[in-house]
Amino acid sequence: MLKSILLGLWLTATGALATTVTLSDTRCEYRENPVGVDTPAPRLSWVINAATRGTRQTAWQILVASNPAALAKNQGDWWDSGQVNSDQSIQVVYGGKSLVAGQNYFWKVRIWNQANQVSDWSQPARWTMGLLNAADWQAKWIGFSTPTNSVVTLPKSGSYPLQPAPFFRKTFTVGKAFKRATAFASALGAYELHLNGQPVDTDALSPGWTDFNRRVHYFSYDVTAQLQRGDNVLGAILGDGWFASYLAFTGKRHYYGGDCRLRVQLQIEYQDGTRETIGSDDSWKATTGPIREADLLMGCVYDARAELPGWDKTGFDDRNWQPAVVDDTVKANLVAHPGEPIRRGEEISALKITEPKPGVYIFDLGQNMVGWARLLAKGNAGQQIVVRHAEMLNPDGTIYTANLRAAKATDTYYLAGQSQRAYEPAFTFHGFRYVEVTGLNYRPKLADVTGIVLHSDLPRTGWFECSEPLVNQLALNSLWGQKGNFLDVPTDCPQRNERAGWTGDAQVFMKTACFNLAAPAFYTKWLDDLCEDSQRADGAFGDVAPSLKIVGFGNTGWSDAGPICNWRMFEMYGDTRVLRRHYPALTRHMAFLANTSKDFVRGTGAYGDWLRLAGPQKSDAIGTAYYAYTAQVMAKIATALGETADAEKFHKLANDIRAGFVKNYLKADGRILDSKNETGQTFYALAFGLDLVPDDLKTKIAEQFVAALHQQDDHIATGFLGTPFILFALQKAGHPELAYKLVLNKTYPSWLQQVLWGSTTMWERWDGWTPTKGFQSPGMNSFNHYWLGCVSEWLFTQAAGLDTDGPGFAHIVIRPEIVKSENGFSWVKAKYNSIHGLITSQWKLDSDQFRLNVTIPGNCTATVYLPAAALADVTEGGKPATTAEGVKFLRLENGRAVFEIGSGQYEFVARRIPRGEHSK
Ligand code: BGC
């Protein structure tokens, strides 16, 4: 705190600031105006936009009111914090009166800067509490059938039993003027909630996927605008979702046991202050309709002849509907979903139609995507149209579906028999670029198929562009990989019968994920799946979360997702609450590692350097390096939590493991050999990447690292555990030019070779398809697996040079790694909407001149590194950097001039860049 005030003071000299400050992005629990918050003390954050350089916050005041009028009069009847001296503008914990279930809270904030000038209040924001206790739920669990508790196993052949999705409706009357209506909904299954003829949201597959036996989410909706005086109808469709569809590779439906159930509660607040609750119960009516089958992996069978027009509106005749079945046996632990639901996103037009066989039409969307296809079709009533999905084509132009394994990914429509109209499946999703349509009596037009993209609805936060167009496509592929694998759970792949929350994949990609999309609430949810719901009694975390009982536990790089992903929450968002919540689980995990290692040496367990092309997959050198990583991360977590004794303990552990690594595997000639005398690129990637290399051996080990690359003709050969580290490691070994080379290689194996082969997402394997060998084994050949997309972390933090130093980007580092343009990039433009606000780093390299444009958000500071031999070679805004407003020279360091800046926009130019810095 003192440090930050002092820092602020040297920036104040420039004059008045407060008039130029606005506050925006007011968030509660990471979301803007969230509905359904169930933490008793939510955390608030805001972004400080300041035209003046060096703006810092020295104090804040928050008002929280029960109604907008009170807030407008500056009356915080629920909380008036008063002026709190603090530079904290994120993760500020609500400190007012106890919050009441279902209530709206209106809030605003103002801040003081370092000159003690106060800003205007932020625009009013709002959050709505969820249902906080089991007793707040008056609605009952309802269904369409009586409880059976059946788990169904996929038959080896023949048809598989699926059930129709029931429709529910409830008519009720609103007899007086109302102020507000909030709906709360959950399902053992997946629901779509309607009110008066319209869905209440564009969400799909809500409430998502958890281990339903441990935790079930609900979502909350403000439906005030959809409610009306007089008669109303609440409607819901109940699909199988993750609860009852064939799940991953378990081969089972109803994996969690039991039948699909629905729970809906509508709360109406009337103008006269009274309240009414309409809850699901046996007065609701139910039937089945057009959705004959709907399964996540298999697809949907939709019979348009059985549609129920107007089923969700008043005036519909439901006399033939049956009463819903109330199921009092459901014992679900219902909690508010901490993040956004999965929603329909962009729509993708088809680019091309082919007809590889008569009557078989294949639409190419030009983008491997996840969601479903909307089909415009016409035909006779009951005419069957079959829509299949694939990521790739066979050489004969037909769709390649072998890699989908047991997932049928097929939607079947029985047409309504009208003129042309749109058809969409329900309660399913597919991973595909190609859509095959059969059963039409005519040749369709391009516009007849549109891709509807589906993913957890997270705003984009990161943009990366550079002088190499293929790298720009690669960065987009990484983003598309994330979208397709972010359906409530971070999954490995979205197309085959797997789609599971593989923990290793999650941890190698998480920092990239947090650059690409606003992911903190998404991971808050998943860290419960991982740390609270999937841990084994001995402390090992599962290979997948939500847990599936057919995979292992405690494997190196997978189980370690526990500490690593929690750490990322602190690094990217300054979140200590999530660390505190899972700390007991994380320390149990450390006990597991201690109990299953010997003399600080660990093996890799089941997967090791999964999908590597050369070098050992399983090795004690890899396992031990990862053990050091986990201990290092735990030391940082314990420090962040103020657990000093633990911090020291983990720090010592990390040092002991490092010493063991050095003793056991580092040879005097610089080679790294494991106990079987094997070596590979991943060993060096981990040794440098995790700072396991002693200074005296650094040069020799770096030489061996380079030799290991040369052995592969300077091509990458690493798998899951080496790839995330190798580029960073090459820089640390003094070879940024080789890091660039691996990123820019256009021959196999490389990232850009896949782009040149037409990839639009990240492939599971370096050799998923090659011109000489064709497709890899279909048993494991996804074309949408985000793990290799972790290269974007390097693009953002090294090529653009934009990273956080400490938690949540309060202090930022701008340190682009440059090499000669012909060996690297000649320009880069990156933007990141951090939790503190927008950061940009844009640079351009012209012969020996380097221009860097930087934006730093209010209340943040940054250390900026420019290639320069002398301070005199650097200007900012056209003036010598030493005289530029708000720019403080710190030092010259290894061919770089280092400056400290505060918020604002800056243009640095460095002339006469030292040869050594960019000549490699
Ligand atoms: C998944 C991976 C996962 C792995 C474990 C595969 O089937 O698709 O991404 O991490 O198994 O090695």
Q: How far is the CA of 544 from the centre of ligand 1 (A)?
A: 9
Q: Shortest CA distance to 235 belongs to which of 189, 278, 291, 298?
A: 278
Distance in angstroms (rounded) separating the CA atoms of residues 174 and 689:
63
Q: What is the pLDDT of residue 686?
A: 98
498 flagged as catalytic:
yes
Ligand 1, pocket-test mutation among 502, 617, 723, 783, most atoms within 8 A of CB: 502
Distance in angstroms (rounded) separating the CA atoms of residues 136 and 88:
34
Distance in angstroms (rounded) separating the CA atoms of residues 763 and 650:
36
Q: What is the pLDDT of residue 4?
A: 42
Q: What is the pLDDT of residue 159?
A: 53
Q: Does 502 sit in the ligand 1 pocket, CB within 6 Å?
A: yes
Atom of ligand 1 nearest to the CA of 558: 10
Question: Is 554 within 8 Å of 540 (Cβ atoms)?
Answer: yes
> Is the pLDDT reported for residue 8 higher than 70?
no
Q: Shortest CA distance to 901 belongs to which of 850, 845, 841, 847?
A: 841
Instruction: Give pLDDT tens digits for 699-738.
Output: 999 999 999 999 999 999 999 999 999 999 999 999 999 9
Residues in CB range of 22: below 8 A, 6 or more apart? 49, 119, 120, 122
pLDDT band at residue 194 under the 50/70/90 scheme: very high
Q: Does 557 sit in the ligand 1 pocket, CB within 6 Å?
A: no
For the chain, what is the mean pLDDT?
95
Q: What is the pTM of this model?
A: 0.96
pLDDT above 70 covers a percentage of the chain that reads 96
The number of CA neighbours under 13 Å toward the Cβ of 789 is 38
Q: Does 249 sit in the ligand 1 pocket, CB within 6 Å?
A: no
> Is the pLDDT reported for residue 306 higher than 60?
yes
pLDDT band at residue 856 under the 50/70/90 scheme: very high
Distance in angstroms (rounded) separating the CA atoms of residues 818 and 799:
7
**Residue 552: count of CB within 10 angstroms of its CB:** 15
Distance in angstroms (rounded) separating the CA atoms of residues 120 and 466:
38
pLDDT band at residue 879 under the 50/70/90 scheme: very high
Instruction: Give pLDDT tens digits for 53-67.
Output: 999 999 999 999 999
pLDDT band at residue 154 under the 50/70/90 scheme: low
29 flagged as catalytic:
no
Over residues 580-606, the mean pLDDT reads 97
pLDDT band at residue 912 under the 50/70/90 scheme: confident
Least confident range of 316-330, 704-718, 902-916: 902-916
> Is the pLDDT reported for residue 689 higher than 60?
yes
> Is the pLDDT reported for residue 13 higher than 50?
no
> Is the pLDDT reported for residue 260 higher than 90?
yes
Q: Does 504 sit in the ligand 1 pocket, CB within 6 Å?
A: yes
Q: What is the pLDDT of residue 916?
A: 53
Specify the residue with its C-alpha closest to ligand 1, atom 7.
Answer: 780
Q: Per the residue annotation, which of 29, 498, 817, 876 is the catalytic one?
A: 498
Phi-psi region of 744 (alpha: psi -120 to 50; beta: other; left: phi over 0): alpha
> Is the pLDDT reported for residue 766 higher than 90?
yes
Q: What is the pLDDT of residue 822?
A: 87
Over residues 522-531, the mean pLDDT reads 98
Instruction: Give pLDDT tens digits for 328-344.
Output: 999 999 999 999 999 99
Ligand 1, pocket-test mutation among 508, 607, 611, most atoms within 8 A of CB: 607
Ligand 1, pocket-test mutation among 505, 559, 761, 763, most atoms within 8 A of CB: 505
Distances 336 to 206, 355, 529, 768 between C-alpha atoms, Å: 12, 48, 14, 40
Beta 178-188 vs 216-222: how paired, if at all? antiparallel
Over residues 419-431, the mean pLDDT reads 97
Q: How far is the CA of 650 from the centre of ligand 1 (A)?
A: 29
pLDDT band at residue 146 under the 50/70/90 scheme: low
> Is the pLDDT reported for residue 908 higher than 50?
yes
Extract the tokens encoding 432: 């595909």
Instruction: Give pLDDT tens digits for 101-120.
Output: 999 999 999 999 999 999 99
> Could you write out the DSSP letters of every residue in 48-66?
EEESSTT--EEEEEEEEES
Q: What is the pLDDT of residue 16?
A: 42
Give the number of residues written for the chain: 920
| Alpha carbon distance, N-terminus to C-terminus of the chain | 42
| H/E stretch holding 208 | none
| H/E stretch holding 504 | helix 503-516
Q: What is the pLDDT of residue 9?
A: 37
Q: What is the pLDDT of residue 20?
A: 81
pLDDT band at residue 11 under the 50/70/90 scheme: very low
> Is the pLDDT reported for residue 434 higher than 50?
yes
pLDDT band at residue 821 under the 50/70/90 scheme: confident
> Could you write out the DSSP letters of every residue in 858-913?
TT-EEEEEEE-SSGGGEEETTEEGGGSTTEEEEEEETTEEEEEE-SEEEEEEE-S-
Q: What is the pLDDT of residue 17?
A: 44
3-class state of residue 489 by DSSP? strand
Distance in angstroms (rounded) separating the CA atoms of residues 411 and 373:
9
